[in-house]
Amino acid sequence: MTPRQRLPNRRSCENFNLNVGGQRYCVSIGRFGNGELAEIFITNGKVGSDADAAAKDSAVVASIALQFGVPVDVIRHALLRDAQGRASSPLGCALDILAKDFGSAR
């Protein structure tokens, strides 16, 4: 198994907002020193809601996967999509935005 790449305790982050299913989400990302996506945090304004909990948990699992070397595109393509191929979840939408804007979320 690939060892987990640890991140420094203090690091910069990038933030952006998105809307999924009529809900607004705030996304924060951190990167490894080489610019690759290392972590993602997702929250919405309804603290304690099922949607907020699911978004937060999915982002934590994705962050752990990234730190163990799972490529972003593997995560993206494993997530739920609609009949047109559009992401159906906050995590999927966030990763698609990053891939579009940064090319494979780099």
Average pLDDT along the chain: 92
Please state, in angstroms and as integers, the Cα–Cα distance from residue 25 to each residue in 52, 70, 96, 97, following that order.
9, 24, 14, 13
Give the pLDDT score at 64. 97
Q: Using a pLDDT cut of 70, give the percent of the chain over it.
A: 95
Angle at which helix 50-67 crosses helix 90-102, to 10 degrees, equals: 50
pTM, rounded to two decimals: 0.89
Q: Residue 105: is its pLDDT beyond 60?
A: no
